[in-house]
Structure 1
Amino acid sequence: MKAFQAAARCPLDGVRVLDLSRVVAGNMVSLLLADFGAEVVKIEPPAGDPLRDWLVAGVATNWKVYARNKKSVCLDLRKGEARALLLKLVDTAHVFIENFRPGTLEKMGLAPDVLHARNPKLVIVRVTGWGQTGPYRHKPGFGTLAEGASGFAALNGFADREPVLPPIQLADCTSGVYGAFATLVAVREVEVGGGRGQVIDLSLLEPLFSFMGPQAASYQASGRLRPRTGSRSTTAAPRNAYRTSDDRWVCLSASTQAMTERLFRVIGRADLIDNPRYRTNAERVQHAAELDAIIGEFIARMTLAENLDFFGRAEVTVGPIYDIAQIIEDPHVTAREMVAAYPDEEMGTVPMHCVVPRLSGTPGAIRRAAPGLGEHNAEILGALGLGAEELARLAAAGVIYAGKQRTKKKIAEA
């Protein structure tokens, strides 16, 4: 078990982030910033961030991972006093993250021009499904819809089956990475360029579409839609997943001529190198099914371990297809502490991915566990000059909240 590095110095120390977002995309933005030292203060409603309700075996594992390194202040922003407190916190912040539908922040009296009037250097990250402009801007926009509209699902799966949506929050996480990058660009403009704060319009759709790379250009050039090809590639062959004799799987990619020729030699099929059906990459792509049958038959003779040893000694790019149980036992994963267990009151320990990427001079750190709801009310609001008596009054009035989440029913009754 690893200990939290509470005293670690990180490159974003001193940067304060107010994160009003909920679920994954905004939390991914703030997670990346928090992992490198930013003080991320989650501004949560009385019901808490919905991530707290995403339970696995009764445990909020999503919250434990995405909310690590963060603090929590619970404000009922339907109340004027709560909004006034938020505006005071804005005065102290460098970054403000929200993921309401376009126009919601404005209706709350928290429009960007209001925030910038108080804090001209504030970087405001606005996360939505479709962006702040355009005919879809007011539509609900969960990541699933972006994964469909971006073209990803249309390419994912097999030609004779339905398009396949990803089994992870792909659009949210992609947007989160872009959002963290854009935030640092905007913060640098303020700090180094002497500029003013600005608004970052971050949709879920556009970042994932950018990962589609040359699809639009390829469509214009060919006039053809790229088909769903399962694990095969339309640009290089051989490339696929192959079953081993012990009913496990390996993945193989031979996307260069040299690697393909090495593969053919090691499986005892050097004759394929000069075979006109497989001589060039274009020909191999055209006859990928035939190649898969040849390679698959060879791999199926050996177990997973035997395949990895055989191809590893030949330096052919073959690797295992792991599930999470296998990942956490892999010696490379454990040697690099890609996954490490940290103390957790509920689980005993909670395994989490390491801070990514690894910086040699100014690395990030996992400094604290995910917070309880409103755990840092006294610390954060107390710094505004609110004493214990005033905090108690605000709690009694339902302006602030701490402790277990209130259900929607309890909130309605409050």
Structure 2
Amino acid sequence: MAVMSYDIIVRQLAIRSDVLIENFKPGSTPTIPYSSPSTHNATSTALEKWDLHPAAIHPYNPDLIYTRVSGYGQTGPWEPRPGYASVCEAESGFRYINGFPDEASGALNGPPVRPNISLGDSVAGLHAAFGTVLALLQRQRKKEAGEAGGTTVDVSILESMLNLMEGIIPEYDRKSKIRGPSGSSVTGIVPTNAYPCLPASSSSTTPVYIVIGANGDTLYARLMHLIGAPHLASPQYAQNHQRAVPAAQSAIEEAIRAWTSVRSTTDVEQALEAAKIPVGRVVNVKDMVEQGEQLRARGAIQDVWVPSKGEDGWSVKMQGTFPVLEGCEAKPRWAGPDLGAHTGDVLGGLLGLSEAELQRLKEKDIIG
């Protein structure tokens, strides 16, 4: 008996599915019929080479949503380029504004600073999820109008990161301004920064930092009176655009640093909380897991059970499920199943493959 090939398996699953998500490197979509896979363009993605692209599947499942995630998108001169999060973060302008500025020019001074996470991948994933939900809502409206609901959601890491970049493009277009890095503050918002406090112990000389966000005008005035600098709360500093002038910002930042640097983070936090001024400690994961009362209260850190064959299993802490939906107790059900754990359920349940057929697929290394 012939063994079903991997592309036929995926095709049959796609015909029975609502959404197909892929992140292969794009290429040219072939226009040849399904019966001629051997003549596919060599630069096509795996889906195109296997005739699993939208034009091949939509005749059999016209309501299928294709969500395609890539570095630079499915069109344009950079379409065939491989794109990882790191390089797309750089091309989006994000890396340029992360670091410390040259004092004279304001341009990036030295290598850009990278957050120690794969931010571009996570942001692209959020765009893919949101785009898929939008496509499903659009499909519902199309079907109500008697139309086929299938479509393609084209997500690029480059554009996902660009979407985070606030007003840098209109700033350049209208004012020829090139936003540069600003260290631990943010351009044009004063004061919001990380300020040094006393070291955590008497044996250390390294300051501990705390973040203060008092850029609202009333918050700013309260902060200046709290730190004993009422002269900086005079009318010439009353509004943010006045405080964002370099000389004014320098005076304000120095006054705050002088106040925080002789106090512990606890003292600073308590004083600012009493004055209802936004403040937060710069914490690490140990602090969050062991002392994060807000995170614990909202179930943001969950203990998830991991079963183990032949053993009792074990528990691991991990992030909860966000956002929180009223009336819905959403939390992780597992830390991640073993690779292939549900292959039998999917292929048997959706495609009706027997145990014997699944075994033959395993013997041919088509499934694990």
**Counterpart secondary structure, 2:160:** helix
Cα distance, 1:308 vs structure 2:
0.9
- Return the match for 1:193 from 135, 142, 145: 142
Distance (whole Å) between structure 2 residues aligned to residue 84 and residue 326 of structure 1:
50
Cα distance, 1:381 vs structure 2:
1.1
Asked whether 1:229 is paired with 2:190, we answer no
TM-score by length of 2: 0.83
Asked whether 1:386 is paired with 2:345, we answer no
Corresponding residue for 2:216? 256
Any residues of structure 2 matched to 1:92-241 within 5 Å, and which? 92-102=16-26, 103-104=44-45, 105-159=47-101, 160-194=109-143, 195-241=148-194
Q: Is the 8 A contact 2:229 2:255 kept in 1?
A: no
State percent identity of aligned pairs: 30
Asked whether 1:373 is paired with 2:326, we answer no
Structure 1: gaps spanning 5 or more residues: 1-78, 402-414
Q: Is the 8 A contact 2:214 2:278 kept in 1?
A: yes
- Return the match for 1:297 from 258, 264, 271: 258
Corresponding residue for 2:15? 91
Cα distance, 1:154 vs structure 2:
0.8
Q: Is the 8 A contact 2:4 2:361 kept in 1?
A: no
Asked whether 1:331 is paired with 2:313, we answer no
Cα distance, 1:364 vs structure 2:
3.3
TM-score by length of 1: 0.74
Distance (whole Å) between structure 2 residues aligned to residue 374 and residue 281 of structure 1:
56
Distance (whole Å) between structure 2 residues aligned to residue 188 and residue 283 of structure 1:
46
Where does structure 1 differ by over 6 angstroms across 4 or more consecutive aligned residues?
A: none
Asked whether 1:356 is paired with 2:322, we answer yes
- What amino acid sits opposite 2:97 in the alignment? L
- What amino acid sits opposite 1:284 in the alignment? R
- C-alpha root-mean-square deviation of aligned residues, in Å? 1.7
Aligned residue pair count: 322
Cα distance, 1:227 vs structure 2:
2.2
Asked whether 1:344 is paired with 2:306, we answer yes
Distance (whole Å) between structure 2 residues aligned to residue 227 and residue 191 of structure 1:
44
Corresponding residue for 1:266? 226
**Counterpart secondary structure, 1:193:** helix
- What amino acid sits opposite 1:94 in the alignment? D
Cα distance, 1:282 vs structure 2:
2.2
CA deviation profile, 1:90-141 (whole Å, cap 9, x unmatched): 1221000001111211112211111212211100001100000111111110
Distance (whole Å) between structure 2 residues aligned to residue 280 and residue 213 of structure 1:
21
Distance (whole Å) between structure 1 residues aligned to residue 173 and residue 260 of structure 2:
38
The worse-fitting range, judged by mean Cα deviation, of 221-230 and 189-198 is 189-198
Distance (whole Å) between structure 2 residues aligned to residue 290 and residue 227 of structure 1:
21
Cα distance, 1:251 vs structure 2:
0.3
- What amino acid sits opposite 1:83 in the alignment? D
Structure 2: gaps spanning 5 or more residues: 27-43, 102-108, 200-206
Determine which structure has greater relative contact order: mean sequence separation of CA pairs < 8 Å that are 6+ residues apart, divided by chain length: 1
Change (3 A) 1:250 1:263: same
Q: Is the 8 A contact 1:308 1:319 kept in 2?
A: yes
Q: Is the 8 A contact 2:305 2:334 kept in 1?
A: no
- Return the match for 2:279 from 311, 318, 321: 318
Cα distance, 1:354 vs structure 2:
1.3
